[in-house]
Each structure stands twice: as C-alpha cells, then as structure tokens.
C-alpha cells in the first residue's frame, strides 16, 4: 500500500533487546490530505530509512504494510513502513522541460510538383 501525507511529528526512537538481538523503532505521525484529513501513526523499524527525510511539515510518499496480531484476546494493528521518499513539491519526481514545443506546419506538393501552402485550401 502507498500513502502520500505530510509529516506532523516524529516520536522518540525506541530501542530494546529481543530474541533476534537489538532492535530500533521510530514512530512518525503523518496527516493525510483531503476534505477530512486523518492522522496515522507509522512505524519505521531498523536503520534502513533516511532519517534526513523526517522533517516536520515535509510531504512524504510512504510504502507500507498493515499487520494485525492477537494478544490475550485483543487485536493490535501496526502500520509498518518499508519505503519512504520525499515528494518533490514542484509536481512530481520526474523533471521535464516546461518549454512549449512548436512544430512547423506541414507542406504538401501538388501533382505538378509545386508546393501547396496552407492558404491554398479548396474550401
């Protein structure tokens, strides 16, 4: 799944020890766009994400998975990001030239070999 949202806040990094060793988790709060904006808490696990992108107010493209698990009869849902990219405010990631392209009007030859201009329309 993918979401484009504005970064509202960066929560303190959490660390701990588990059966697979030391882990790090960074939670961020993003705000969606639209008529009724929603805030979403997204978890970043490990150190594979560019922390320089995490500036409050910046617009982000976030690819994530949603996972739910049961514990003691209650269900808990996590939104885990696996890719974060900054959004180019200029209108997209690709850069194209904004210069207009002009084309020369076509020229045609008559059966006699003379060039027909655009002003020689039969109607």
> For residues 44, 46, 49 and 53, what is the CA-based torsion angle, rounded to 10 degrees?
60
Where are the domains positioned within the chain? 2-86
- Range with lowest mean pLDDT among 46-50, 79-83, 90-94: 90-94
Whether the predicted pLDDT of 65 surpasses 60: yes
Least confident of 45-49, 61-65, 73-77, 79-83: 45-49
| Beta-carbon contacts of residue 53 (< 8 Å; ≥ 6 apart) | 60, 84, 85, 86
Residue 18: strand pairing partners: 21
Q: Which CATH number fits domain 2-86: 3.90.480.10, 3.30.1180.20, 2.40.160.40, 2.40.50.140?
A: 2.40.50.140
**What integer pLDDT is reported at residue 114 of this predicted model?**
58
Q: pTM for this one?
A: 0.67
- Calculate the average pLDDT of the chain: 81
Q: Cα(70)–Cα(41) distance, rounded to whole angstroms?
A: 19
pLDDT per residue over 82-95, tens digit each? 999 998 765 554 33
Residue 122 in this model has a pLDDT that exceeds 80: no
Q: Taking residues 49-75, what's their average pLDDT? A: 92
When pLDDT is cut at 50, 70 and 90, the band that residue 118 belongs to is low
Q: Which residues of 61-87 are buried (b: 16+ CB within 10 A; e: fewer)?
A: bbebeeeeeeeeeeeeebbebeebebb
């Amino acid at each position: 799944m993918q979401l484009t949202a504005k970064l509202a806040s960066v929560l303190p990094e959490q660390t701990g020890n588990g059966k697979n060793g030391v882990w790090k988790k960074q939670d961020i709060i993003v705000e969606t766009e639209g008529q009724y904006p929603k805030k979403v808490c997204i978890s970043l696990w490990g150190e594979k994400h560019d922390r320089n992108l995490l500036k409050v107010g910046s617009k982000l493209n976030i690819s994530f998975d949603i996972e739910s698990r049961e514990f003691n009869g209650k269900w808990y849902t996590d939104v885990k990001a696996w890719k974060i990219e900054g959004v180019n405010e200029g209108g997209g990631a690709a850069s194209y030239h904004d210069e207009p392209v002009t084309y020369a009007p076509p020229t045609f030859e008559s059966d006699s070999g003379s060039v027909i201009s655009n002003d020689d329309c039969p109607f």
